[in-house]
Amino acid sequence: MRKLLLVLFLSVSIPFIATAQNEKKKVMVMEVKAEIDTRMARYVRLALDHAEETKADIIIVHMDTFGGGLSDAKEIVDWIMAIKIPVWVFIDSDAASAGALISIACDSIYMAPGATIGAATVVDASGAAAPDKYQSYMRSIMRSTAETNGRNPRIAEGMVDERVVIDSVKQAGKVITFTTAEAIENGYCEAKVESIEDILKRNKVESYELDTFQLGVSEKIIAIFLNPFISGILILVIMGGIYFELQTPGVGFPLFAAITALVLYLVPYYLNGLAEYWEIIALFVGVVLIIAEVFFIPGFGVAGIAGITLTVFSMVLIMLNNDFFNFEFVPLGDIMVAAFATIGGLTGGILLLFFGGARLTKTKAFQRIALGDTQDVKDGYSVNTFNESLLNKRGTAYTILRPSGKVMIEEQIYDAFTRGDFIEKGDTIEVIGTEGVTLKVKKVE
């Protein structure tokens, strides 16, 4: 009886044991081989989500970067340290600055022959060391990240601060940059390897399937539009589209181009967590104030200035990873790039209005939708003009004149314009001249 039960047990359990032994490990690889910026941060976030969705057993970061934005790197570090799946990093060349921070956040570090890790001093757009508050913040992140993963926090701090002295490792005056051998000696690298396959073999992972994460088409498009240079071009298209729609009302295409550019400008930053609701609202409020100033409010005053200011500042803020006007840890270089992209796009739009507007009227496309013929008298055309009996006549403004509109004189409504002044509806006017079928008027005080 016992033998029969043993046979039955083995017959049932052996297939399960064999299946478990033959089951392949799922290894997801994400490549961090470019500048650490908003686009890279989005790639890492999507890659980690993919690893969780596919129930990956191991995540390997294939690293080769000279660093990038501190705020973006900090987000990546937080995500890596929060995920429950083991994360290993393979540095096949460089892990400098933000790359070093991300590497230290991983559970295990492996380096190729000739690779380096370190040199995490925060620098500005010109390459000079950033103010000490940035260095202090970077030191604290490096120190706490290293300590959490069981690495010497003093060494991590020495990768940022040249003043740190560590016996037999570092003297004052230089930041730490380890070679592969030095990193192994000081506990910042598990082993020297040639490839990802070597890492898996070393960890006795024999049966596995590699899944190198790649962005989908839509995500690649979003990544393109997160580029500040592209953002500047979109701002230019927004400005130009609005202007040309006002010049040729009813055509539709310029307005459609402006709306499309606005969507392409806002959506990528919103999806990436940079564009906050209040920043988007501020942008639309700025645009509404500008429109109100141009079409409804006489002159150019508070509304116009406030509208332009709100529009420019909101466009800059949308591109920055600030915390409601807190720019303490936003690199100065990022602020300058966002400002130049916005101002460059707006300036380009204004130049397009002045120099491109005249050329537009000469294009075949414009001539198909605009009346370009001259109706000369010699060709039999004529026009009715007002006689001089209307000169010096008084009436009232039938609509607002800014500077053109309609006036009423002796119960008759006429088209009229001023010399540039704004006249409110109901104000008394006086005719001071005529041009064709239009009266030239002034306000009577």
Q: Are 60 and 28 in contact (CB under 8 A)?
A: yes
Averaged over 366-385, what is the pLDDT?
52
| CA proximity to 296, closest of 399, 419, 415, 442 | 399
Please count the other Cβ atoms lying within 10 Å of the Cβ belonging to residue 305: 13
First to last CA, the chain: 120
pLDDT of residue 418: 85
Instruction: Pick 288 or 14 by higher pLDDT.
Output: 288
The confidence band for 267, taking pLDDT boundaries of 50, 70 and 90, is: confident
For residue 166, the 8-state DSSP code is B
Q: What is the pLDDT of residue 403?
A: 77
Q: Considering the entire predicted model, what is its pTM?
A: 0.62
SS3 402: coil
What are the distances in angstroms from CA 103 to CA 87, 94, 125, 146? 10, 11, 23, 10
Report the percentage of the chain scoring pLDDT > 70.
76
Q: Is the dihedral of CA 256, 261, 266, 268 positive or negative?
A: positive
Listed range (46-60, 70-84, 387-401) with the worst mean pLDDT: 387-401
Give the containing element (helix H, strand E) for 132.
helix 132-148
pLDDT at 100: 94
Instruction: State the DSSP code for 401.
Output: B
Band (pLDDT 50/70/90 cuts) for residue 364 is low
d(C-alpha 280, C-alpha 290), whole Å: 16
269 pLDDT above the threshold of 90: no
339 exposure class (CB count in 10 Å sphere: 0-12, 13-18, 19+): middle
- The first and second tokens of residue 208, run together, are 């596995």
Q: What is the mean pLDDT of residues 56-65?
A: 95
**pLDDT tens-place string over residues 232-249:** 788 777 777 776 666 555
Percent of residues, the chain, with pLDDT higher than 90 = 28
pLDDT at 428 over 50: yes
Whether the Cβ atoms of residue 423 and residue 399 lie closer than 8 Å to each other? no
DSSP string, 344-389: HHHHHHHHIIIIIHHHHTTSHHHHHHS------GGGT-------GG
What residue type is 299 in one-letter code?
Answer: G
Residues 136-165: pLDDT tens digits?
888 899 999 999 999 999 999 999 888 888
3-state SS, residue 215:
coil
Joined together, the tokens standing for residue 147 give: 């300590």
Residue 4 has pLDDT above 60, yes or no: no
CA 370, CA 185: separation in Å to the nearest integer? 77
Provide the β-strand partners of residue 96.
118
CA-nearest of 329, 67, 293 to 177 is 67
pLDDT at 148: 92
Mean of all residue pLDDT scores within the chain:
79
Considering only CA atoms, which of 239, 271, 274, 270 is closest in space to residue 257?
A: 239
**What pLDDT score was predicted for residue 21?**
47
Number of CB atoms found within 10 A of residue 251's CB: 15
Q: Where is pLDDT greater, at 433 or 435?
A: 433
Query: Cβ-count burial of 324 within 10 angstroms (0-12 exposed, 13-18 middle, 19+ buried)?
Result: exposed
Pairing type for strands 404-409 and 177-179 reads: unpaired
Length reported for the chain: 445
**Burial class (CB within 10 angstroms; exposed 0-12, middle 13-18, buried 19+) of 114:** exposed
DSSP state, 161?
A: -
Checking if the pLDDT of 366 tops 60, the result is: no
Helices vs strands, H then E, count in the chain: 16, 13
Please report the DSSP string for 243-271 in residue order: HHHHHSTT--HHHHHHHHHHHHHHHHHHH
